[in-house]
Amino acid sequence: MLTCYRTRRRIGAYLDGALGGRESDVTNAHLATCLRCHAELDALRRLSAMLGRVVPSPESLEWTGFWEGVRRGIEEGRGKAAATPWTARWRHPRLIVGTAAALAVVALVVLWQAPRAPLTPPAAAAISVSSADTDHPRGTVMIYSPPEKDLAVVWVFDLD
C-alpha cells in the first residue's frame, strides 16, 4: 500500500526521466508487479500522447512579443482599475437585478406595514365637546367624546 502511494507520486517524474538511479529502479520494479500502478502509468502515457498531438511544443511558438504584451496588459489594467472602481461594479447585470429586487421587497414590506388612513376624513361634528363649571372660581372642565367609541377625555384647566 505504501509502495503504491510512493510509486504513484513518482510516475510523472518516471515518465519524464527525472528520477535518479535507485528511485527509477524501485519504481520500475514496482510497476512490473502492480497492475493498478501499471494501469495508471499507461493512462498517463496516453494522456501525454494526446496532449502532444493537441498542444504545440513551446519551441514552435513565437515568443518575441510575449513579454511586451504582458507588460502592456499590466499597464493598461492599472489605468482602468484606478479610474473606474465603482462604475465597473455596476456593469454586472446580476448585481443590478438583485439590488432592484431587494429594494422592491423593502418597499412592499414598508407599504404593507404602514397604517391605513381612512379614505374620507371624519366629520368635525361627530366629536362632541362639552364644558362644565367647577366649584373653583378659575377652573374649567372640558369633555371630548367621539360617538363611535365609548371613550371620554376629561381635561381640567386651572388658570393659577
Predicted local distance difference test score (pLDDT) of residue 53: 77
* CA 128 to chain CA centroid, nearest Å: 60
Say if residue 54 is exposed, middle or buried (CB neighbours under 10 Å; 0-12, 13-18, 19+). Answer: exposed
Q: Residue 147's CB: how many other CB atoms inside 10 A? A: 10
Q: Please tell me the predicted confidence (pLDDT) of residue 149.
A: 67
How many Å apart are CA 61 and CA 9, to the nearest integer? 31
Determine the pLDDT at residue 5.
84
CA 146 to chain centre: 55
Spell out, as residue ranges, where the chain has pLDDT lower than 50.
Answer: 125
